[in-house]
Amino acid sequence: VTFRTRVLIASVVVAVAPLALLTLGTRHEVEKRLTAQYRARVEAAMAAVRDDVRRQGEVVDTRLAALASGVVEEAGVRRAMLYGAEGGELIDWAGGAMPLAGLDYLVLLDPSGRVLSSGHFRNEYDRHAGRVDTVLAGAHGPVLVRARTAEGTFVALARARALELGGRRFLLAGGVSMDRNFLDRLARGEEAGGLSVALARPGAADSTPAPVTPAAMTAELALPFLDDAAAEPTLDTARIVVTHSLAPLAALRRGMDVWFVVGLIGALVLAVVIAQVVAARVTRPLTELAGKTRRLDLDRLDVDFRSTRRDEVGTLARLMGAMVERLRASVAQLKQAERRATVGDMARQVNHDIRNGLLPIRNVVHHLSEVARESPAELAGVFAEREGTLAGGIGYLEGLASTYARLSPRADRRPTDLNEVARTVVRDAGVPAGATLREELDLLLPRVAGDPVALRRIVENLVVNALESLNGGGGVVVATAARRDGGRSTVTLTVTDSGSGIDAEQVERIFEDYFTTKPRGTGLGLSIVRRLVADLGGRIDVHSEPGRGSRFRVELPALEAAGGGAAAPETAPETTT
Amino acid sequence: LTFVPSASADARVPLDAGADVVVSSDPAVIAYARALPDFAIMPLPWSRTYVLAAAEAAAWGAEAPPTAPREALEGLARGAVRAEARPAEGPFWWREAGCEGAGAPPPTSATGPSRADPLDPAHRSFARIVYPSGDAVAQGIAERLVALTGRGSAVPAWLVTAVFELPSAPGPTVAAGLDPTALDRAVRRGDALAFVVPVPRAPGGPCTSALLAGEDPVAGAVLSPTAGMRITPLMDVRSSLILRRGVAGIAIDGDGTLRFLPAGGAAGVGRRP
């Protein structure tokens, strides 16, 4: 698991977990409170419905009492009831009395249960009223009666009152319609809040409320129900059902879920972005540091680990830089030791070779000395005889000297003016047509300790490469500058061109042996430059952008300060071998 | 003569407002006028016969025309309607031949074709007995028939004979008033269990009645041979003329035509052969 992945996971957990807990907690609390509130509303509505039904029954009973008293007083109706007089007076009585009494259901039954007068269905006259007389007469409270009219049926909340007349017992039954308006009145205008009142009665699919589901909260009031509209009247139980829809709660839940998902997605996106940014800020310098470290080897100790960061990464980079500095010093010492060892071996070889070369010469000289002492007259002849040996020995030594001279180049390390070297290179450079080459030199530049030839090769290689990258147009600037980094003075040579530039991948390999971007390049120029710079105890880096040009910067230890004071290099200058 | 439209359905209102002549079939109005000394009452000829029309069963096409028991019709006339009514009395002009040239529909009860598919339940959403809206007499008859069908097994046999689809009716019957257009459409589509409609009954004879029926879209639709209806006469209804005394004399011709006479020329109300 990479550091970036860990940061991502941590960010997601930190962002999502509190949000999820908050949402779930809020959702649970709201649901609990609303459910309790709905339950209280349903119970209150049910109590009100129960009270309304009771009071409505009492009102109906009161009105029936008044009508019964009117029947007794009305002579025509009384006569028709008792003596069966012809005419429509009795038939029409209930039709007229019912609206005056504010009722929707009214029947007058004779002692045998036959309809003498019906207000809600005039032509029900003479029909046997089924079980209306027995059921209503025996009920202690209101009864729901499904009655028939010419146009259909309806349900009435009915009561009955007995009427004694002429020694016979008649029954007056009346009620109010329990239609939609009646039920809506029971709901007391709470329909908009999700509260509804419905009548559930046997055999009526359309008026049966939906079964109790988690989507609704209900309470019921059971009442006796007489289906007098059926061919065979039946007595059953009907229910007034108060229902509170949980749709608002469900909608609230859905809304909260939607916003939770939206918040979750937002938090996830934010967490990912933050994780990417944090991870990038943390890992990018580490990646760069790893890249620099990857480039390190004993031949390439010119990697720059300097950092201005004040955090742990900066500390690590500085430690790496210090380690590289120590490595460079160690490598220099190692090379020096190797060189000394090599010189010792060479000295022994030279000693051996010279001794070998001198041996015949010493023999000839010794021979000539003996001849001169013992036979001076023969000296000329002997000399002539041994002259060839002398010449051969001397020639051998001369050849030996030439050979060693070629094997051991001169390490000419002396104070050198880098500005002078740069001027010479610029002066002698062949500038192609359409291109410019100019110098921006620091006149107070301190000298460096090095071989002028090696320095010239460094500057020459960089300038030639820069001119070749111009492709016939653009310019090259050769600049020098003094710099003081802490207690260390350095001299910087910068060669900047506006040429074709190279990409990051090529920059990584530009100092490798045999790597070239030129069609006929050998791939050794910059590699040699890097080694020469390293031998001088310096470092080289490059910054390049394709299409915009390149900038090579060589940093060398200054031999003396810009003001003329001496400044010893931190590492011993090295010579190219 | 000045005809004054009355906004009230109660004919007692124009009487109290000073009308000289009012024609009404409402017994309450007639009784009210009879109690007032300024008015004379004269029953007019029986002018309408209310019939029960239902789908004709193919197997019954050759049977005798249906009739209801007189006791039942008397009960209807006495209690079901608020009008001066009597059991329907024949002969019935639509059962007699000979008036085709006068525009009357030919006899249908015995030989008329049945509807193409009288029992197709898709034609009826429920069992309704239809009457012309606004006709209180037809409404009263229809409601009484509905009340009779609510008796379960005690439904009168004559009613089952008149409406042979009654036992197979889908659910309880109801009464429904329709305007002439909707009623005509219901007749054509068979979209009702039965129809209660008035048929003209003219004193002038069957052909006169046939002419009047030809101008009545409701009666014409029910009696049309293409309707394939089984017609059962139920009751005759007539109106009474209420005349303010001393305003004019009234004479009624043999064909039922009313004639107003000068106040001094005739004493009250009389009939002419």
Across all residues in chain A, what is the average pLDDT? 83
Provide mean pLDDT across the span A558-563: 62
Residue type (1 letter), A367: H
Provide mean pLDDT across the span A235-241: 89
- Residue entry with tokens 């015995």: B110
Tokens found for residue A274: 């933050």
Provide mean pLDDT across the span A353-365: 83
Q: What is the pTM of this model?
A: 0.59
Tokens found for residue A406: 């070629």
Partner A contacted by B140 (CB < 8 A) = yes
CA–CA distance, B236 with B253 (Å, rounded to integer): 20
pLDDT of residue B264: 58
* Contact state of B174 with A152 under an 8 Å Cβ cutoff: yes
* Contact state of B79 with A126 under an 8 Å Cβ cutoff: yes
pLDDT of residue B63: 59
Closest to A150 (Cβ–Cβ): which among B151, B152, B174?
Answer: B174
Output A241 or A212, whichever has higher pLDDT.
A241
* Contact state of A125 with B176 under an 8 Å Cβ cutoff: no
* pLDDT tens by residue, B217-251: 788 878 877 777 889 999 999 999 999 988 888 88
Instruction: Give residue A407's pLDDT band: very low, low, confident or very high (50, 70, 90).
Output: low
Percent share of chain A, pLDDT over 70: 91
Most trustworthy range by pLDDT among A323-327, A476-480, A557-561, B109-113:
A476-480
Torsion angle, CA of B64/B70/B73/B78, rounded to 10 degrees?
170
pLDDT of residue B88: 92
pLDDT of residue A442: 92
pLDDT of residue A564: 42
Are A188 and A45 in contact by the 8 Å Cβ rule? The answer is yes
- Residue entry with tokens 């309704």: B128
Q: Indicate whether A561 pLDDT > 60.
A: no
pLDDT of residue A176: 94
Phi, psi dihedrals of residue A315, rounded to the nearest 5°: -60, -45
pLDDT of residue A86: 58
Q: Indicate whether A139 pLDDT > 50.
A: yes
Q: Indicate whether A293 pLDDT > 50.
A: yes
Q: Indicate whether A210 pLDDT > 60.
A: no
B27: closest CA of chain A, how far (Å)? 10
CA–CA distance, A161 with A101 (Å, rounded to integer): 14
Percent share of chain A, pLDDT over 90: 20
ipTM of the prediction: 0.77
* Contact state of B176 with A151 under an 8 Å Cβ cutoff: yes
pLDDT of residue B144: 92
Provide mean pLDDT across the span A456-479: 88
Closest to B144 (Cβ–Cβ): which among A88, A123, A152?
Answer: A123
**Contact residues, chain B, for A127 at CB < 8 Å:** 147, 150-151
DSSP annotation of A487 reads T
pLDDT of residue B115: 42
How many of the other CB atoms lie within 10 Å of CB of A219?
19
Tokens found for residue B193: 């269990």
* Contact state of B140 with A122 under an 8 Å Cβ cutoff: yes
Tell me how far the alpha carbon of residue A511 is from its chain's centroid: 39
* pLDDT tens by residue, A521-536: 777 788 888 888 888 8
Are A555 and A450 in contact by the 8 Å Cβ rule? The answer is no
* pLDDT tens by residue, B129-147: 999 998 999 999 999 999 8
Partner A contacted by B151 (CB < 8 A) = yes
CB within 8 Å of chain A, chain B residues 191-230: none
Instruction: Give residue A512's pLDDT band: very low, low, confident or very high (50, 70, 90).
Output: confident
Provide mean pLDDT across the span A428-445: 88
Instruction: For chain B, 273 residues long, give each residue's pLDDT as a single digit of tens.
Output: 788 777 777 888 988 888 899 988 888 899 899 999 989 998 998 989 999 998 876 555 555 667 788 888 998 888 889 889 999 998 888 887 666 544 444 444 333 333 434 434 444 446 899 999 989 999 999 999 998 887 666 788 888 888 877 777 777 888 999 998 888 888 888 888 899 999 988 887 777 788 888 788 788 878 877 777 889 999 999 999 999 988 888 888 877 788 888 775 544 444 544
Instruction: Give residue A408's pLDDT band: very low, low, confident or very high (50, 70, 90).
Output: low
* pLDDT tens by residue, A1-53: 777 788 888 888 888 888 888 888 988 898 899 889 888 888 988 898 899 89
- Which range has the worst mean pLDDT, A220-229, A267-276, A554-563, B231-240? A554-563
- Residue entry with tokens 């921006």: A440
Instruction: Give residue A76's pLDDT band: very low, low, confident or very high (50, 70, 90).
Output: confident
Give me the half-sphere count of Cα atoms (radius 13 Å) on the Cβ side of residue A310. Answer: 0
pLDDT of residue A94: 92
**Contact residues, chain A, for B176 at CB < 8 Å:** 151
Strand pairing category for A234-245 and A488-497: unpaired
pLDDT of residue A303: 80
Are B218 and B197 in contact by the 8 Å Cβ rule? The answer is yes
CA–CA distance, A80 with A158 (Å, rounded to integer): 25
